[in-house]
Amino acid sequence: FHKTKNPKEYINLRSSSKLFHRALHQPPPLWTTFPCSNHATLQSLVDRLEKLRGDEESSGNVPSVLFIEEGEHRGGGRYVTMKKPLSMYGAGCGLTTLVGVGLKIKGNKSDGIVEIQDLTIKGGERGGLFADGGMKVNMRGCTIEECGGFGVNAYRADITCDDLQVIGCGSSGVWASIQCTI
């Protein structure tokens, strides 16, 4: 129990017994999973969540956590772009792999935090993670491999990395420019 960091494990623990239900006082966040029968691509699901969060009436009923199931998931473009805060969790580094696509974080610094944990980004055409002057990014337990450009590119952004490996990318492993903190 104490070694568990992934929210999906907390949700499963909370529902497995009354003891854990009482001990874990905080209710679990609203969450969804990918693959999803209603969305062929990860970008499609992220776009739908962001559209729903933009509607003030329903924004409290929209998942803020996205669990990406074990396996290789291909992208539909160069990047999956996120403009609203979202926590994205894989099943484990090496178990969940985004293939041929990177993650681009936009939005405003005041919007919130994007969390990315326990996944591998492999073979992104341009780069693995591009934080473009937007929200703060916390990345934990991830690997970025064989991307065409930078592994991590921070442009006017704040990124916190814990247990991150960048392997064999075409340009620098990590690149920071113009008022960045990594």
Number of separate helices (H) and strands (E) present in the chain: 3, 14
**Closest Cα partner for 10 from 18, 1, 126, 19?**
1
pTM for the full predicted model: 0.86
Tens-digit pLDDT profile for residues 114-140: 999 999 999 998 899 999 887 899 999
Alpha helices in the chain (DSSP H): 7-16, 18-23, 42-54
- Tell me whether strands 102-105 and 159-167 are parallel, antiparallel or unpaired: unpaired
The pLDDT score that the predictor gives to residue 116 is 97
The pLDDT score that the predictor gives to residue 156 is 85
Rounded to whole angstroms, the Cα distance separating 32 from 46 reads 11
The pLDDT score that the predictor gives to residue 177 is 81
The pLDDT score that the predictor gives to residue 142 is 97
Tens-digit pLDDT profile for residues 153-178: 998 888 999 999 999 999 889 888 87
Tens-digit pLDDT profile for residues 69-119: 999 998 767 899 999 999 999 999 999 999 999 999 998 888 899 999 999
Rounded to whole angstroms, the Cα distance separating 133 from 104 reads 10
